[in-house]
């Protein structure tokens, strides 16, 4: 790095949402950059997004997860920020042409967490128990496993969601385990839900760094933060969503792992009630990650995924 000292910027600004978890993620990237480039002053620009502000309606009714990144992208466009840090699962698979994901960091925990003050696991829930989740993907898989429960939407940041559980609004809630771990709340996790029971969302557990596509000066600078294996898994998972037109508004799950230099991908599409589920899996060499994702998505289409997605669009879920 020393040889590049003359070309390093004096300052970098990271755009971030103002929630505790988003700030942890941005601070993590800031700390990584400071370790790599001690001479750079790295600052955070904290912004509020529409996804954070509108909590009385489900995401699918107000425009999807892209609402969490729009204000951050405006800051990149007008020069207030140089990069934005996102939970990768919140980043739409088709970014506007002006932007690009330039680095995907090493993946953390991918599983969903079971959080309850009274019940050790989902099998312990009584008939009619109320479970909270913000995700149609989680809801569909939960209803398939335990159809006797009531699933209700749960929005807000982690502290808000835990507060609603503690107030008695829910018997249990399901959250991404990684968020609880990052905020020092791992003791709230009663158990991890296996990926067989709750296949993760594309990009779950990963952080992505977004920049303006014309900022070639930043691409090389940020490259040391990227993890090649996590990137390959993310490319495969996001290819599934891209082919199927996926967002948070449809129950699509995609999860890739790497073993023996092969990438293994599992994916499913389901109806929100869990009554219809199509599942497919395949493996390929790591350099064929995108093609693998596309192939699995096409296989799901052949199994009836398009029929499920079309019916969701007609009923207002899409």
> In sequence order, which residues have a C-beta less than 8 Å from that of residue 1 and are 6 or more positions away?
36, 37
Alpha helix (H) residue ranges in 13-122: 20-36, 50-53, 59-62, 70-77
| Cα–Cα nearest to 54, from 140, 139, 153 | 153
Helix (H, G, I), strand (E, B) or coil at 12: strand
* Cα 134 to Cα 121: distance, rounded to the nearest angstrom: 19
Alpha helix (H) residue ranges in the chain: 20-36, 50-53, 59-62, 70-77, 136-145, 158-166, 177-182, 216-222, 228-244, 289-302, 305-314
Inter-axis angle of helices 289-302 and 305-314, to 10 degrees?
Answer: 70
Tokens of 299: 């296989």
**Position of tokens 């879920």?**
317
Just list the catalytic residues. Answer: 90
Alpha helix (H) residue ranges in 84-196: 136-145, 158-166, 177-182
Tokens of 188: 């709230």
* Cα 187 to Cα 199: distance, rounded to the nearest angstrom: 23
Strand order in the sheet with 112-115: 150-153, 130-133, 172-176, 112-115, 191-193
> In sequence order, which residues have a C-beta less than 8 Å from that of residue 155 and are 6 or more positions away?
55, 56, 57, 58, 59, 134, 161
DSSP state of 199: P
- Given a contact cutoff of 8 angstroms between Cβ atoms, the answer to whether 262 and 284 are in contact is yes
């Amino acid at each position: 790095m020393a040889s590049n000292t003359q070309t390093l910027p004096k300052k970098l600004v990271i755009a971030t949402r103002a929630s505790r978890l988003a700030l942890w993620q941005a601070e993590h990237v800031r700390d990584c950059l400071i370790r790599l480039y001690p001479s750079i002053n790295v600052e955070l620009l904290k912004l509020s997004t529409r996804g954070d502000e509108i909590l009385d309606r489900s995401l699918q009714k107000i425009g999807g997860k892209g609402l969490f990144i729009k204000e951050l992208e405006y800051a990149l466009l007008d020069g207030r920020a140089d990069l934005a840090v996102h939970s990768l699962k919140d980043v739409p698979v088709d970014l506007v042409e002006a932007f690009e994901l330039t680095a995907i960091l090493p993946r953390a925990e991918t599983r969903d967490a079971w959080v309850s003050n009274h019940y050790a696991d989902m099998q312990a829930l009584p008939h009619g128990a109320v479970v909270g989740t913000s995700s149609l993907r989680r809801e569909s898989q939960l209803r398939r496993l335990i159809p006797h429960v009531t699933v209700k939407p749960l929005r807000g940041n982690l502290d808000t969601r835990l507060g609603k559980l503690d107030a008695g609004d829910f018997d249990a809630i399901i959250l991404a385990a990684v968020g609880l771990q990052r905020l020092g709340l791992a003791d709230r996790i009663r158990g991890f839900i296996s990926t067989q029971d709750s296949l993760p969302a594309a990009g779950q557990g990963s952080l992505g760094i977004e920049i303006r596509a014309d900022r070639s000066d930043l691409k090389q600078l940020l490259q040391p933060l990227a993890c090649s294996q996590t990137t390959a898994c993310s490319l495969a998972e996001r290819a599934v969503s891209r082919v199927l037109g996926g967002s948070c508004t449809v129950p699509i799950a995609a999860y890739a792992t790497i073993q023996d230099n092969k990438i293994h991908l599992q994916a499913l599409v389901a109806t929100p009630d869990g009554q219809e589920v199509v599942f497919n899996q395949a493996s390929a060499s790591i350099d064929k990650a995108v093609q693998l994702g596309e192939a699995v998505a096409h296989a799901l289409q052949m199994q009836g995924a398009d029929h499920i997605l079309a019916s969701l669009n007609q009923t207002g879920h899409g």
